[in-house]
Amino acid sequence: MIKDSITHFLRRVLALALVLAFAGCRSAPNTACVQSTTPTNSVEQITHATNNQSLVATLGFSANGQSMLIGYTDGEFVEVELANRSVMRSLKLTQLTPGLTRLSENRNLLITAGDNGIKAWDTATGDVLHESKEKTKIYLNDIALSNDGNWLIEGTNGLNIYSPTENKGRSGYGISIIGYSLSPRAVAFNSTGTRVIYALQEMNLDTHKVRGKIRMLNWDGRVLEGAYRFELGEIKFPFERVTDQVPLRLTIDPSDQWVAARTLSAIELDTFALSQHATLNIPSTSFGSLAFNPPSTLLAVGIQQGLRVYSVPDLNEVLDQNGPEASAIAFSPDGCLLAWGDVEGTVHIINAPKP
């Protein structure tokens, strides 16, 4: 149910605290952004006001960059207009799990996963469009949603790709991964939904040494009822990278050139052509949150001590924002603003730093 009353909303959900104003680049194109060279001095905070601390599970800017959508682990999902801090909508959903909550690019669809299966929500009404009754928390490692919202990937003991809004069960395209202790840990779509990338945890049963492996497959959007591709023996993949640590999260940049992997204590950056590779050891993370900016010149990464931003492709540090760990990260569509939510339920919004 949508609560239109701002007073009621503030009492139950948010206390908006303006620390310092933006530098005025809310709707300007990226080349005209008024970007702060010291963005830590220009921070706006949106604080979740409930009796119990609630983590930020997901967040994103609206398509026009004029509002912020925020989902909290206690199930509150809200949209706040940035210009006047007014509440546009407030929904009470199910509990949200950091790392297992996804917003579609147009912000009309929210995917949640947890003990009671996977649900697809209409963010305008709070209606459940699709629900998988299967218990997923025990074996579900990651989910990814295509930008158009038409396809969802589940990373379990294999990969399942299906429509999250059609109530036809989980018919679609599946990959059952059979190998030497292989288990998918992270999944992602590219911006056009034509590539699927996934990370495996690979363990040598003799030495008990664990490493990661990142693979890419092309995806043409076909729906094959009950059809599975079995990976048996040696297979040639268009893209495959071995990592020392197991990736927790993956992302592909908007230009469809770079693949970034967040492991427990490092960043791995690659081109799809495998022509460039960079690795950087950084502080550890609990959630593995990371995001490219729209021009693909910055990579924002959550760490246990806050948030860091690095230039692409050299991974030079351009921002170190100390504070509670970032559990969700988003850039505005024009790349002017950077927002992150933390483990204390606060959303921080700053002018995106220069590369």
Domain boundaries, the chain: 1-99+287-355, 100-253
Give the residue among 168, 167, 55, 58 at the shortest CA–CA distance from 110: 58
The whole-number pLDDT of residue 79 equals 92
pLDDT at 307: 96
Stretch 25-43: mean pLDDT, rounded? 41
The pLDDT of residue 278 is above 60? yes
pLDDT of the residue at 135: 52
Is the pLDDT score of 181 beyond 80? no
Q: Is 11 in contact with 76 (CB distance < 8 Å)? A: no
Name the pTM for this structure. Answer: 0.82
Low-confidence winner among 139-143, 201-205, 282-286 (lowest mean pLDDT): 201-205
User: Nearest 5°: CA angle at 344, between 24 and 5?
Assistant: 65
pLDDT at 23 over 70: no
**Local confidence band at 45 (pLDDT 50, 70, 90 cut-offs):** low
> Between 55 and 244, whose confidence is greater?
55
Task: State the pLDDT confidence band at 214, using cuts at 50, 70 and 90.
Answer: confident
* Choice between 115 and 198, residue whose per-residue pLDDT is larger: 198
| Contact predicate 117/131, CB 8 Å | yes
What is the topology classification, in CATH, of domain 100-253? Methylamine Dehydrogenase; Chain H (2.130.10)
Rg (CA), the chain: 20
In 18-127, where do the E strands start and end? 43-48, 56-61, 67-72, 76-81, 87-92, 101-103, 109-114, 117-122
What is the SS3 string spanning 213-241? EEEEEECCCCCCCCEEEEECCCCCCCEEE
C-alpha closest to that of 178 among 143, 223, 228: 228
Q: What does the mean pLDDT of the chain come to?
A: 77
Kind plus residue range of the DSSP H or E element containing 10:
helix 6-12
Residue 101's Cβ-count burial label (10 Å; 0-12, 13-18, 19+) is: buried
The amino acid sitting at 94 is T
* Banded model confidence at residue 203, pLDDT cuts 50, 70, 90: confident
